[in-house]
Structure 1
Amino acid sequence: MMSVENPVHHMQNPVLEENHNPLTPNEIHELFSLVLEPQQQPSSNRSSSSSETNRSIYTVEERKHRRMASNRESARRSRRRKKTHVENITNEVNRLKIENRELKNMLCVLSHDCHLVQSGSDRLLSESIYLQHKLAGLHQILAYSTAQQLQY
């Protein structure tokens, strides 16, 4: 005689990770109400199959509405993050433009100061050359004068 084993005993129970539940508490409640409600009602009050179909369609519709609401909220958060990001970048651009303008002004002032120093340096160099020539001429006069005094 063949033994008929209960297939339930051979099924492996899936091990779920901690805090891993694919259903929300509301969905679990709805599932239990679908399973328990027909058993609790008397036979005469039981819904027809069309009513059960409406309930499952309502659940699907409700899920669809929840998903749409969740997607809308996710899109709203994404738009808010994008707006904040754009504002931050705009503020950074404005700050860098101001810094750039200040640096250009500083460069202009420093270039002007450099030009003034260079002009002063050129003037002093010319004056130095002029004074060196004058000194050389005075040396020649002194040397000539000394030579003339030595002859007398």
Structure 2
Amino acid sequence: MDTSAPADLVRARIAAAVDAWEAGDGAAYAEAFTADATYVTWIGTVYRGREEIGRAHQVLFDRFLKGSVLVDDIIGIKFLGADTAVVTSRGEVGKGGRRPAKLTKVQTYTLVREDGGDWRIAAFQNTKRKTIMERISFAFAPETAPV
């Protein structure tokens, strides 16, 4: 299966979400998601549905995340058939319009191709990386380190 065109569309969907974040536009950010999407934040908050994702993010953009930038570096795209993709990325939020020095979070996206052909995010999971715990774990059990 030739996945270059779908991969470009998946990347474009995530890039559009990043652009909406930087614009501080909750509604545009939510447009990247399916109507019934699930969104899990790094602190464990679960949002359900495009409307809730947009509403909550607009409040965040207006307050705590005002003027922030979102960095999302895709490290892998895996297609599970023609209409489903799983994306893994490293990311972080930068304050004051500046790119953060370290990407401390790992994200997993599940995207689906909807009937009209548009790719949207159906599920999102954001995890804060604990690098010190990784080092300790790998020191005591080196065989657990990824290759």
Q: Which has the higher contact order (CA 8 A, sep 6+)?
A: 2
Which of the five TM-score ranges fits, normalised by the shorter chain?
under 0.3
Q: TM-score, normalised by structure 1?
A: 0.17
TM norm structure 2: 0.17
**Higher helix proportion:** 1
- Higher gyration radius (CA): 1
